[in-house]
Amino acid sequence: MIHDIVIYPDPRLKLISEEVTAFDAELHALLDDMYETMVAKNGVGLAAIQIGVTRRVLIINVPIENEEGEPIDQPRDNTLEIINPVITYRSDETVKFQEGCLSVPGFYEDIERHAMVTIAYQDRHGEKFVIEDDEFLAIALQHEIDHLDGKLFIEKLSFTKRKKFEKEWKKRDKKK
Catalytic residues: 144
Number of residues in the chain: 176
Distance CA 25, CA 55 (A): 15
Helices (H) and strands (E) in the chain, counts: 3, 9
Residue 23 CB neighbours (<10 A): 16
- Which residues, at least 6 apart from 104, have a Cβ–Cβ distance to it below 8 Å? 7, 8, 152, 153, 154
Are the C-beta atoms of residues 88 and 50 closer than 8 Å to each other? no
Distance CA 32, CA 57 (A): 12
Residue 144 pairs in a beta bridge with none
Are the C-beta atoms of residues 141 and 60 closer than 8 Å to each other? yes
Amino acid code (one letter) for 117 = V
